């Protein structure tokens, strides 16, 4: 595993947990964790249970005893690491966003297609697809339960930047993080809508904006927010993105990605309206799926709050009895399960790097639209 931040912790927990919960077709060995700071990565290895720590990812990628490279670094380094790993014949699991630019993403996607021919699998970490309620929603929509999709809304709202004194971390620097709220959480919203509907966003119109333009330079990392000092630096990514997309099936989709939604800590909502029904989801109640059936008698219609913890629900066979809730990191274990299953079966895991590159193109089109007076831009 390359990287050891918040995502490093979540992925480590998944690698350790998935083989215990699910019957994986391959044994998991947590071999090496890689970071530039030797002390920090050594501590991370001990804390999260990796056999070794290393500081040079190239050496690790070159090792014969390593089969899988899991990339949890900031987005700007994804392309170099992933392409090297794929060329070395490793299976690659890469955190989102795929890359910070469309060009980088396209190169990664090309590398993945090439590597697939040689048996190396590449998978992108849009983990929310594997929250059982959302996987279930995808299945319901695919089965036609809500009919033709007529309208879509998706919003990812956080509030950790409402405080103008929140420090300038790497997530607020374009050269490292890519695209701010749009790239960090807007990408989740776009991927989720495409995943749920089975359609793509084909054109977009929108606005991307930085609300607080200067912040105290981070002097200490604490959680995702950190602590700042007396010096200020420029925020080079957006705080909020509001955009509308047209899906390939014709429906309009309204999107919001923001770090300024006061009181919304990590609220990813999606609602899909069809001519036969609708589904609605809120990550703050992540074990629940709201399902509306418009074919029921008028007097019986309403949103049904399905607690998605039944043994027959996606991924639930490995967990607890019905009604026992799953948490945030469980989806990472599901991701490991599906990734290892794909490696074992020789199938392409989803989301592919091509899917990730397409999401990057949607986000780039949003930025382009924002710079072009909000005009519609074809992805």
Distance CA 184, CA 97 (A): 7
Q: What share of the chain is helix, strand, coil (3-state, %, to 5)?
A: 40, 25, 35
Distance CA 343, CA 337 (A): 10
Quick check: 181 binds a second copy (CB under 8 A)?
Answer: no
Closest CA to 158 of 126, 135, 182, 132: 182
Least distance from a second copy to the Cβ atom of residue 336, Å? 15
Question: Which range of residues in 71-79, 87-95, 99-107, 317-325 is near a second copy by CB under 8 A?
Answer: 317-325
Choice from 61, 85, 93, 146 touching a second copy (CB under 8 A) = 146
Q: What is the contact mask toward a second copy in residues 233 to 262, using x (rule: CB under 8 A)?
A: -------x-x-x-------x-x-x-x-xxx
In contact, 109 and 354? CB cutoff 8 Å: yes
Quick check: 286 binds a second copy (CB under 8 A)?
Answer: yes
Choice from 207, 248, 249, 282 touching a second copy (CB under 8 A) = 207
Distance CA 246, CA 151 (A): 10
Count, residues near a second copy per rule CB under 8 A? 95
Which C-beta is closer to a second copy: that of 258 or that of 352? 258
Choice from 77, 80, 225, 249 touching a second copy (CB under 8 A) = 225
Choice from 26, 36, 213, 265 touching a second copy (CB under 8 A) = 265
Structural tokens at position 45: 């290895």
Question: Which range of residues in 47-55, 76-84, 112-120, 349-357 is near a second copy by CB under 8 A?
Answer: 47-55
DSSP letters along 138-151, please? Answer: HHHHHTTTT-SEEE
Measuring CA to CA, how many Å separate 182 from each of 257, 268, 344, 363, 365? 6, 13, 35, 7, 11
Question: Which range of residues in 41-49, 80-88, 226-234, 353-361 is near a second copy by CB under 8 A?
Answer: 41-49
Which C-beta is closer to a second copy: that of 224 or that of 347? 224
Choice from 223, 230, 231, 346 touching a second copy (CB under 8 A) = 223
Q: Interhelix angle for 353-371 vs 187-197, to 10°?
A: 120
Q: What is the contact mask toward a second copy in residues 56 to 85, using x (rule: CB under 8 A)?
A: ------------------------------
Quick check: 335 binds a second copy (CB under 8 A)?
Answer: no
**Residues whose CB falls within 8 Å of the CB of residue 348, separated by 6 or more in sequence, listed in order:** 116, 121, 342
- Which residues, 287 to 316, sit near a second copy by CB under 8 A? 288, 291-292, 294, 298-307, 309-313
Q: Interhelix angle for 187-197 vs 132-142, to 10°?
A: 40
């Amino acid at each position: 595993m390359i990287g050891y931040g918040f995502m490093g912790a979540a992925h480590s927990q998944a690698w350790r947990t998935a083989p215990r919960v699910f019957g994986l077709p391959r044994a998991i060995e947590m071999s090496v964790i890689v970071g530039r700071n030797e002390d920090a990565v050594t501590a991370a290895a001990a804390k999260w249970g990796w056999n070794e720590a290393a500081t040079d990812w190239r050496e690790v990628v070159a090792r014969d005893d390593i089969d899988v490279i899991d990339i949890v670094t900031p987005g700007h380094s994804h392309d170099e690491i992933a392409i090297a790993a794929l060329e070395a014949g490793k299976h690659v699991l890469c955190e989102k966003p795929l890359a910070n630019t469309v060009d980088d993403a396209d190169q990664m996607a090309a590398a993945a297609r090439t590597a697939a021919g040689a048996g190396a699998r590449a998978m992108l970490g849009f983990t929310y697809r594997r929250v059982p309620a959302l996987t279930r929603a995808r299945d319901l929509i695919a089965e036609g339960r809500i009919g033709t999709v007529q309208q879509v809304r998706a919003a990812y709202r956080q509030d950790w930047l409402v405080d103008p004194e929140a420090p300038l971390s790497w997530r607020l620097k374009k050269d490292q993080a890519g695209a701010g709220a749009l790239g960090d959480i807007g990408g989740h919203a776009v991927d989720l809508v495409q995943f749920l509907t089975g359609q793509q966003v084909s054109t977009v119109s929108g606005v991307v904006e930085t609300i607080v333009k200067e912040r105290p330079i981070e002097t200490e990392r604490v959680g995702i927010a950190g602590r700042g000092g007396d010096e200020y630096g420029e925020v080079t990514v957006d705080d909020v993105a509001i955009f509308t997309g047209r899906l390939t099936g014709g429906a309009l989709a309204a999107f919001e990605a923001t770090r300024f939604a006061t009181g919304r800590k990590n609220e990813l909502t999606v609602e899909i309206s069809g001519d036969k029904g609708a589904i609605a989801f809120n990550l703050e109640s992540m074990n629940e799926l709201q399902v509306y059936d418009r074919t029921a008698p008028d007097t019986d219609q309403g949103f049904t709050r399905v607690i998605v913890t039944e043994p027959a629900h996606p991924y639930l066979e490995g967990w607890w009895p019905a009604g026992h809730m799953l948490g945030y990191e469980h989806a990472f274990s599901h991701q490991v399960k599906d990734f290892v299953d794909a490696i074992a079966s020789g199938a392409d895991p989803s989301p592919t790097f091509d899917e990730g590159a397409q999401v990057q193109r949607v986000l780039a089109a949003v930025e382009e639209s924002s710079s072009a007076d909000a005009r519609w831009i074809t992805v």
